[in-house]
Structure 1
Amino acid sequence: MANERETKATAVRETEGAATELTAEQKAQQQERILKQIAKELQLPHSKVKASVGLLDEGNTIPFIARYRKEMTGELDETQLRDIEERLQYLRNLESRKLEVIRLIDEQGKLTAELRASIEQAVKLQEVEDLYRPYRQKRKTRASVAKERGLEPLAVWIMAQPRQGSLEQEASQYIDADKQVHTAEEAIQGAMDIIAENIADDAKIRAWVRKYTHDNGIVATEAKDPQQESVYEMYYAYQEPVRKLPPHRTLAINRGEREEVLKVRLEVAPERIHDYIAKQIVKGDSVVKSTLQLVIEDAYKRLIAPSIEREVRGELTEKAEEHAINIFAENLRNLLLQAPVKGKVVLGVDPAYRTGCKLAVVDETGKTLHIDVVYPTPPNNKVAEAEAKVKAAIEKYGVQLIVIGNGTASRETEQFIAELIGKMKGRGLQYLIVNEAGASVYSASKLAQEEFPQLDVAERSAISIARRLQDPLAELVKIEPKAIGVGQYQHDVAQKHLDESLKAVVESAVNHVGVDLNTASPSLLSYVSGINATIAKNIVKFREEHGKFQNRMQLQKVPRLGAKTFEQCVGFLRISEGGNPLDNTPIHPESYEVVDRLFRELRLELSQLGSKELKDKLQHADAETLATKLNVGVPTLRDILDSLQKPGRDPREELPPPIFRTDVLQIEDLTPGMQLQGTVRNVIDFGAFVDIGIKNDGLVHISQMSDTFVKHPMDVVSVGDTVTVWVLNVDVKKGRVGLTMRNPNGGK
């Protein structure tokens, strides 16, 4: 695969405004080809792919299909469904492009049956573009100038590779001052330019050279200024085979080149390529054999090599971006699904130096109770005054936890809070430092201005920091996903693709957890299956005007929330204290009748929901036998039985809570071999950053994650995991700590 993104852009520009209508039969054949291709690529049964595509085409969302249409898809999960959706879009675009290319070539009168078949059988956009390349209108080239001068017949004569005659004598016939061909040498050069362009446009040759370059090429980098100090010094004289270059190095090299620190080239020995092209072009001994050899070398060096280098580097970049986005997406999902800390009054602290630390006390529901500012850090150092204010707030509002943002002045603020906790030992206070990435983005946003119009940016940030502990998902959805800070090279990838992928992750996480219809913000509601920003605002407005929702059916009265949207969203919305207990479960209203039949079959009452008796009966129920009796699919019934056993359950509550602290640990306190508990903050290709309670996170390199081989850090840890680590090395000057998860005591 070459740089598909660039190829797609070219294709779109050429086909704008053009359309090729298909008959119903042709459309059906095209659809079947696409379904077979997806099934083959993803190694899925054709029937499951067909059903999934049908549901997607009907406008169903992926969370809805994955949860409520399991019988139809054969229980495909969200990842499989998103893969199907992505390939479906790609292959449909590919089919459209094939039709346009066929039409464009046919209009030139150059479409042969063989060429049509080659285009129709192509499975990648790059293959189609390679086949179209010789027929695409080009800007002025050396070959096009030579054609204008009437030298194409000479090129044809050379390609016939005659065994007798004289090239110079043949070329002398094309000398024509009016056409600016003054000598036989000029005529020969023009003919060679035409042949070189034809060779460069040959689809088979390009495909072979592209693969050979990928398999045998070397990415070489060097410094533009070897004396300049930079983060790219390891690349000042660096080489690595194309096929072995890992994604994070690809993106680092690209960034170094973009910042004009590095020069990058792709090296490949040309002799093998010259030999291959010669085998395709040269037919044996002829009077033009040496001329053709020169043409081949020129075609490769001037036309093929630069183009293929761009394509191969484009492919490397695209794969690296895809990988980086997947890493970011997985980290984001794990961060969003961290365990909420419920039922606690929390003091949020946004640290700062000159402007002071902003304080925000929020109650158990996240409602703001108190806002203040204190100045315990330099240059003000008003420690006593700050102590009095914070202590008063803790006592007045019954604060149980203190959350500190990890930004500027966090270390000094942590020291201040730890000392205060030491003076208030009887209260059982604890503190936690949270990653405040994105808090400032949210605080300055239009959304935050609407939520807290009377507060300044820093005060809003303190509220956000406090709420992140109480419900990470509900708070983090207010922030642009790429600003949350758990990515790697997120600024170096295609932003549109990144945004789409991260939005899908947030949507998946929100629908996995479910949303309280009576407390959710518009931001949270907008990620629910089928609900857009307008409908989310309408739901909140309806709630404000009519009071809390008493049942899910009331949603149908919300303006612009139609039947399809209701079907898609209702199962993911919860009402905790409504008229129907089933409204507080993931069971879709379309299955309420099934629940009714189930309860009659098991002689249970809806009022028993949550009781031990009901739970025990449902645990021992035979889903397969009951499904037949109740005329319902087994997967759906299994989900119903599970939901009935845990009404109102938040799946995040099963995860371990964060690590709370009461005292400060400083880098100077660390010694090699020291055992610590930490929280994984970020996972990257070469390891994981772990919060062990000091200012900077420590790094566990991939080689230190296990006594056995680890292919990728994500196979071992995830964002939010609590891990046991040992200090490996400490660099106080640089503030760096190396950690290991391999027990230095051999597991004893």
Structure 2
Amino acid sequence: MVNISDNNLTDFAKPVHRQLGQYKVQQIQSVLELLDEGNTVPFIARYRKERTGTLDEVQIRDIEDEANRLMKLNQRRNDVIKLIQEQGKLTPNLKKQLEDATLMQQVEDLYLPYKQKKQTKASIARAAGLEPLANWLMSFPSEDLNVKARSFIDVNKKLPDIESVWAGVNEILAEKFSDNASFREWIRRYTWQNGELVSKVKRSAKEKDEGQTYETYYDFQQPLKQIPQYRVLAINRGEREKILTVGILIDTDVILNHGYAQIVGNHQGPAVVKIKEAFDDAYKRFLGPAIEREIRRKLTDEASEHAIQIFGSNLYHLLMVSPLKGKIVMGFDPAYRTGCKLAIVDANGRFLTKQVIYPHKPASDEKRAEASIEFKKLLEDYQVEMIAIGNGTASRESEEFVSGILKTIKRPIYYVIVNEAGASVYSASENARSEFGDLHVEERSAISIGRRLQDPLAELIKVDPKAIGVGQYQHDVPEKDLDQQLDRVVETAVNQVGVNVNTASPELLTHISGLTTTTAKNIVNFRNENGAFEDRKSLKEVPRLGPKAYQQSVGFLRIISGNNPIDNTDIHPESYTATRKLLKGIGMSPEMIGTTELTQSLVKVNKYEWAQKLNIGEETLTDIIEGLSKPGRDLRDSMPAPLLRQDVLKMSDLKPGMELQGTVRNVIDFGAFVDIGVKQDGLVHISQLADRYVSDPSTVVTIGDIVTVWVLNVDETRNRIQLTMRKDQVGNQI
């Protein structure tokens, strides 16, 4: 939350604008004001479009993040200025340099010479009185240096001979050079532009790398500017696991010569050699290692940020997969020895019955025959329309079993392979125990798998996003940053869809704008005690749901078949008066919401004229018209529907050139994995995603997409399938 007083909001918006030039100063100021007033990002994006110029959630968070970054920078800058001032060393030039700094690193570089350090060899040498000699040396005297140095020999100061004197001077100069902000900046920039990241396998480590996971990096080097983010994280992991040694390769002669030119210049004389030696030492012990740590941290931070963005994007698209509404579904949790757990849920997700069958070996022939009979009976007794099969252990064998049974049934029944990642986490959770306390963990898992097909968002929301596993290198990135991004993604998805307040779970309500865990539970408790909410106004009676929480949340809470038809739209109650005036003005009533007649009338509305009549913005009027035209709208209805199957393929069925349809299961830096109905997902490499250059796979495909692919290559031994989405490549490969 940005917390800036009203007095300096205008001034603060300008530096944010300098960093984020794509937004106007007025937009930035409005966002900061709205955030400072306690408004949530979803609320601002949906209901304050006139004030922000229709910025969406991502853009608003860009402004919020940059504002927070600049606030931290300002605070640190002020602290540094104060600390240097207290030392009596703050010059006008230094103060201006600090005030002009736009990055935290620049502030820290400038502060380094004044930073209170722990005792160093240089501080010991200064305490021994050697600083005057070091300063004299930097004046490039022409006389014999040792004559001057002998006068500093003092056994009591642990300077017993001339060698110890010059060693102390070297320490003072090396520290002085390493603390120089301009040296650091130049070396940092040169290393970034010209350095290479290098990794080598440790001699004794090949045995540890049993699957040769890091073989690519056994003898690897690539320019720092060109190395892909996923490689940075892979190399870091190899280093942590003590398989690889990693470093930065750079031409140190260029750096040393630059230092000599800056420090020595055209000076000559006996001091030059000692000063050059001090700079060599400064680079070897201080500057070089420090810059390498900084650059590797920069690479890691950027790679982590990228990986977190990929995880967030994948999670968003998984949550927004189109729900399969109004179908009786069987959840099928596959297993071998312990049997497959089945659970049937009705069209509203209500649990009906459960069963355990043993269709796979090592079960006996008799058990497997019984499994077929029991399975078929359940399908008929409950008129199951869809089967959701978890994609875990024994998934493909279960798919074959299901497909075989479906061929014997005359009415159409389809199955879908459902990503069951995290289902076991939910099944063992306190939420699952409170919902289905009398069921075993595996039986709860089958219910969750079935519900994931009916409403992915409502079910997946119960699981820690990290357990869903739709990213890459999620265990190699900062957990706090990952959690923050995933929380934002979940918040965006839930609020974009909205929820039925009379059926939503506490877990789902918790992510609604303005609600907390407590208020979400209070809504459910109030609903259970008093019956279904009949209008949005009655939400004001919920304990601890104050005016601000009501304002922020109510527009995202739908009431279906209530007293007021407008309550089943995403029109905010603050716009109800304008909505009723509009309806009356075009000869309609709230009861006609969603009808073709009203929709056709709304198309003819002159938005400019009506916005003036109603004294509201055109963006708000546009949203009102859309809400009246599509009550209870669900953005997910426009997303790809699950790919329904009745038959199953084996890897041996696949031939190069074969055309198939599949579902995108994961999107990563180097391509996408696609479920084509065989045991192993196929990889569409980034080079095969389109007949043009693709730098980012997520610009072409997202999780849940139904795509047409062609088989390029099948390696049954290694369980690898190579696919292409480029039809022009098929003929070249077969």
Q: Which shows bigger deviation, 300-309 or 146-155?
A: 146-155
Amino acid aligned to 1:57 = D
Partner of 2:60: 81
Cα drift, residue 96 of structure 1: 0.9
Whether the 8 Å CA contact 1:221–1:263 is kept in 2: the answer is yes
Partner of 1:701: 685
Counterparts of 1:105-144 in structure 2, within 5 Å, are 105-144=84-123
Cα drift, residue 109 of structure 1: 2.0
Match of residue 275, structure 2, among 292, 295, 298:
292
Whether the 8 Å CA contact 1:404–1:432 is kept in 2: the answer is yes
Residues 620-668 of structure 1 deviation map (CA, whole Å, 9 limit, x = unaligned): 2121121112111010001111111111121211223111111111111
- Partners of 1:511 and 1:35 lie apart in 2 by 27
- Partners of 2:728 and 2:74 lie apart in 1 by 58
Residues 390-440 of structure 1 deviation map (CA, whole Å, 9 limit, x = unaligned): 12211121111111101111122111111111222x121111111111111
Partner of 1:661: 645
Partner of 1:348: 331
- Partners of 2:254 and 2:401 lie apart in 1 by 69
- Partners of 1:113 and 1:345 lie apart in 2 by 75
1:241 matched to 2:223? The reply is yes
- Partners of 2:305 and 2:11 lie apart in 1 by 26
Amino acid aligned to 1:177 = V
Whether the 8 Å CA contact 2:712–2:730 is kept in 1: the answer is no
Match of residue 173, structure 1, among 147, 151, 157:
151
3-state secondary structure, aligned to 2:306: helix
Cα drift, residue 735 of structure 1: 1.0
- Partners of 1:65 and 1:744 lie apart in 2 by 46
Cα drift, residue 279 of structure 1: 2.6
1:524 matched to 2:530? The reply is no
Partner of 1:18: none
3-state secondary structure, aligned to 1:640: helix
Cα drift, residue 48 of structure 1: 0.5
- Partners of 2:46 and 2:418 lie apart in 1 by 33
- Structure 2, unmatched stretches of 5+, are none
Partner of 1:396: 381
- Partners of 2:437 and 2:115 lie apart in 1 by 57
Whether the 8 Å CA contact 1:346–1:402 is kept in 2: the answer is yes
Partner of 2:605: 621
- Partners of 1:139 and 1:696 lie apart in 2 by 57
Cα drift, residue 28 of structure 1: 4.5
- Partners of 2:100 and 2:463 lie apart in 1 by 45
Partner of 2:259: 277
Cα drift, residue 684 of structure 1: 0.6
Counterparts of 1:143-158 in structure 2, within 5 Å, are 143-158=122-137
Residues 347-394 of structure 1 deviation map (CA, whole Å, 9 limit, x = unaligned): 001111121111110001111101121111222242111112212211
TM-score, length-scaled by structure 1: 0.94
Cα drift, residue 99 of structure 1: 1.3
Amino acid aligned to 1:100 = D
3-state secondary structure, aligned to 2:416: strand
- Partners of 2:160 and 2:499 lie apart in 1 by 80
Q: Which shows bigger deviation, 628-637 or 224-233?
A: 224-233
Q: Which shows bigger deviation, 616-625 or 498-507?
A: 616-625
Partner of 1:264: 246
Identity of aligned residues (%): 52
3-state secondary structure, aligned to 2:236: helix
Partner of 1:609: 593
Partner of 1:221: 199
Partner of 1:496: 480
- Partners of 1:47 and 1:672 lie apart in 2 by 57
Cα drift, residue 287 of structure 1: 2.9
- Partners of 1:745 and 1:101 lie apart in 2 by 60
3-state secondary structure, aligned to 2:225: helix
CA RMSD after TM alignment = 1.5
Cα drift, residue 580 of structure 1: 0.5
Partner of 1:379: 362
Residues 5-62 of structure 1 deviation map (CA, whole Å, 9 limit, x = unaligned): xxxxxxxxxxxxxxxxx9x8xx945x54531121122221100000100001111000
Partner of 1:361: 344
3-state secondary structure, aligned to 1:427: coil
TM-score, length-scaled by structure 2: 0.96
1:484 matched to 2:462? The reply is no
Cα drift, residue 595 of structure 1: 0.4
Partner of 1:37: 15
Amino acid aligned to 2:373 = A
Counterparts of 1:666-745 in structure 2, within 5 Å, are 666-744=650-728
Match of residue 443, structure 2, among 459, 484, 493:
459
3-state secondary structure, aligned to 1:371: strand
Amino acid aligned to 2:135 = V
1:433 matched to 2:417? The reply is yes
Residues 294-331 of structure 1 deviation map (CA, whole Å, 9 limit, x = unaligned): 11111111110111101000000000001111111111
Amino acid aligned to 1:715 = T
Whether the 8 Å CA contact 2:324–2:641 is kept in 1: the answer is yes
Whether the 8 Å CA contact 1:171–1:185 is kept in 2: the answer is no
Amino acid aligned to 1:279 = A
Partner of 1:317: 300
Match of residue 632, structure 2, among 644, 648, 660:
648
- Partners of 1:148 and 1:595 lie apart in 2 by 79
Whether the 8 Å CA contact 2:390–2:417 is kept in 1: the answer is yes
Whether the 8 Å CA contact 2:109–2:179 is kept in 1: the answer is yes
Amino acid aligned to 1:338 = V
Whether the 8 Å CA contact 2:710–2:730 is kept in 1: the answer is no
Amino acid aligned to 1:403 = A
Counterparts of 1:589-608 in structure 2, within 5 Å, are 589-608=573-592
3-state secondary structure, aligned to 1:244: coil
Whether the 8 Å CA contact 1:338–1:472 is kept in 2: the answer is yes
Cα drift, residue 149 of structure 1: 1.8
Whether the 8 Å CA contact 1:347–1:466 is kept in 2: the answer is yes
Q: Which shows bigger deviation, 85-94 or 137-146?
A: 137-146
- Partners of 1:58 and 1:285 lie apart in 2 by 65
3-state secondary structure, aligned to 1:160: coil
- Cα 1:188/1:33, change in 2 over 3 Å: farther
- Partners of 1:266 and 1:745 lie apart in 2 by 39
- Partners of 2:685 and 2:13 lie apart in 1 by 42
Match of residue 190, structure 2, among 212, 226, 238:
212
Amino acid aligned to 2:501 = L
Whether the 8 Å CA contact 1:673–1:744 is kept in 2: the answer is no
- Structure 1, unmatched stretches of 5+, are 1-21
3-state secondary structure, aligned to 1:372: strand
- Partners of 1:613 and 1:364 lie apart in 2 by 30
- Partners of 1:133 and 1:454 lie apart in 2 by 63
Partner of 2:548: 564
Partner of 2:235: 253
Partner of 1:6: none
Partner of 2:30: 51
- Partners of 2:568 and 2:459 lie apart in 1 by 21
Amino acid aligned to 1:349 = F
Q: Which shows bigger deviation, 723-732 or 199-208?
A: 199-208
Amino acid aligned to 2:143 = G
Match of residue 391, structure 2, among 402, 406, 421:
406
3-state secondary structure, aligned to 2:570: coil
Whether the 8 Å CA contact 2:206–2:243 is kept in 1: the answer is no
Whether the 8 Å CA contact 1:168–1:185 is kept in 2: the answer is no
3-state secondary structure, aligned to 2:337: coil
Cα drift, residue 745 of structure 1: 7.9
- Partners of 1:614 and 1:417 lie apart in 2 by 46
- Partners of 2:703 and 2:12 lie apart in 1 by 37
- Partners of 2:147 and 2:545 lie apart in 1 by 81
Residues 469-493 of structure 1 deviation map (CA, whole Å, 9 limit, x = unaligned): 0000000111111111110111110
- Partners of 1:724 and 1:420 lie apart in 2 by 27
